[in-house]
Amino acid sequence: MPSLLTRLRSSYKSLRSALLPTGDAISSTPLLDMFAHNWHLGLTCFGGPTVHFQIFQELFVEKYAWIDAATYLELFALCQALSGPASTKMIYAINVLHYGLAVGVGSFFVWSLPMAIAAFGLGLGVGNIGEELPGPVYALLSGLNSATVGIIALAAVQLSNKAITDTLTRCLVFWGATAGMLYNALWYYPVLMAAGGIVTVIFDLKLVQRAWRKLSPRQEAPPPEEVHHSAIEMGSIHHSAEPQASTSNLHVRTSTIKTPTEPTDPAASVSHQSILAEEISTPPTPAPVGSWKLATAIITAFFVSFITVMVCRGTFGGANRGFDLFSNLYLAGTIIFGGGPVVIPLLREYIVTPGFVSPRDFILGLAITQAFPGPNVNFAVYCGTLAVQGSRIPPVVGAMIGYVGIFLPGMWLHTGFIGLWSSVRKVQVVRALLRGIHASAVGLVFTAVYRIFQIGYLDGENQNGASLSRDPWWLVVVATSFVGGMHFGVSPPMAVGLGSVMGLVWFGVTKG
């Protein structure tokens, strides 16, 4: 009997450890151990990238103790600097460092697949919805869309608070937001972001000042060393003219000249020591994936693939719905900086404008997927499912195209840069370029707020959407979602549910 109780107790502990791991190895097989530690995250992490990063820090740094806080900050900087879904890249990088590249790739699927499958199912359901819907359904969807506008507006404010570090980045966020509202084209958003990056490179490297100095030559003061040596020479001439001057005096005089390698000022000594301390306390950088040659080859291969896809897109665009969808999503996945909120205006431009998905179905799916856990960019799976309707491509293939197209570019680049980040991050041109691209991309999130607000209201006469300004109630729903998330901790799923209820209340009051 005691042995049976012991076995039961041991089985219970094993089951509990498997369901609620502590970070210690559960299985000798790395893939199974990774699954035991990661399986629940794709099902329970609500709230978008900001909340995801907080959950990952509590889990992987504080509970599992797989990495220290300094390494986590390095990975966070890398995820924010590169394109692609930020929280997805973070969980992938942590597992790569802990288990290796192959198992790390497995962790990506464990994290992203559950809600990708849900998005595929949602796409199938929405694809079977008729053209005409009952009045209460339109009211519910309008309330849901209004809440989504508030959620995206909150994400825009939060992202801008992080992206704005000085006056220049503040102007670039404003530039991205305002310029993005004024014009629509497939090439327009990438050009806006590239322009922001070029501006920060010019500003941070002071290229205008350098060019001005070269174009306006003036008599420059001699370098300090020349002035110093000339003073010594004049001193020696003066002393040689005096009979009482001796060579011993000259020798003593020249020997008192301070050299840069001998700091005698206490402040200079303290400064020197602080620099050494800063170098010693520099946080450890992520371990490379293979050698730097392999990392460089991975990055080079990506850019070759990107150029190939874009050339084929320009040459054969319009000939095949599947390739058009993939190339548009591959482009969007390459230029998204900031994750889910930033991809919204890009997907609308690359999915709705070409006519792949109707505006009604786009904003409907966008609103519902905001309540999903896991990566928000799984919304592309939903779009891919609907985009192939009416063609010979099966919906499941469209979903796979959406999944691969939106995730592959960012994950591919991230894999290569994990090994090179410790060196690349020190290059001033790279830092300046990414700073400007990120700020401009954040500005585009405000553009998404405006675009969705303009098509958020749905009824039988406005199947493709009308402005939410048609009734002040929808502005109340937007404000409720924004203020609730900002000040009262209302999560996106709760905000979407509340918006739906408020939409039904509006219908009951105005149409009942």
pLDDT digits (tens, 9 = 90+) for 459-471: 888 877 889 999 9
- Average pLDDT score over residue span 72-98: 86
Lowest mean pLDDT among 176-180, 261-265, 472-476: 261-265
Beta pairing class for 462-466 and 457-459:
antiparallel
Of 12 and 66, the one with more pLDDT:
66
Tokens of 166: 């000085």
Is residue 36 in a domain? no
Query: Do the beta carbons of residue 436 and residue 194 sit within 8 Å?
Result: no
Backbone angles phi, psi at 49, to 5 degrees: -55, -40
Is residue 142 in a domain? yes
Is residue 422 in a domain? yes
- The full DSSP string for 31-68 is HHHHHHHHTTHHHH--S-HHHHHHHHIIIIIIIS-SS-
Is residue 416 in a domain? yes
Tokens of 393: 């491509």
Share of the chain above pLDDT 70, in %: 80
Is residue 443 in a domain? yes
Predicted local distance difference test score (pLDDT) of residue 480: 96
pTM beyond 0.85, yes or no: no
Predicted local distance difference test score (pLDDT) of residue 75: 83
Share of the chain above pLDDT 90, in %: 36
Say whether pLDDT at 277 is over 80.
no
Of 247 and 506, the one with more pLDDT:
506
Containing structural domain, residue 136:
110-210+286-510
Is residue 34 in a domain? no
First to last CA, the chain: 68
Is residue 92 in a domain? no
Say whether pLDDT at 288 is over 60.
no
Say whether pLDDT at 339 is over 50.
yes
- Average pLDDT score over residue span 149-162: 87
Say whether pLDDT at 227 is over 50.
no
Query: Do the beta carbons of residue 112 and residue 407 sit within 8 Å?
Result: yes
Say whether pLDDT at 273 is over 70.
no
Angstrom distance (rounded) from CA 265 to CA 194: 46
- The full DSSP string for 449-498 is HHHHHHT-EEETTEEEEE-GGGSHHHHHHHHHHHHHHHHS---HHHHHHH
Query: Do the beta carbons of residue 354 and residue 318 sit within 8 Å?
Result: no
Of 253 and 426, the one with more pLDDT:
426
Query: Do the beta carbons of residue 128 and residue 432 sit within 8 Å?
Result: no
Say whether pLDDT at 284 is over 50.
no
Number of structural domains the chain divides into: 1
Say whether pLDDT at 239 is over 50.
no
- Average pLDDT score over residue span 468-478: 95
For the chain, the average pLDDT equals: 81
Is residue 492 in a domain? yes
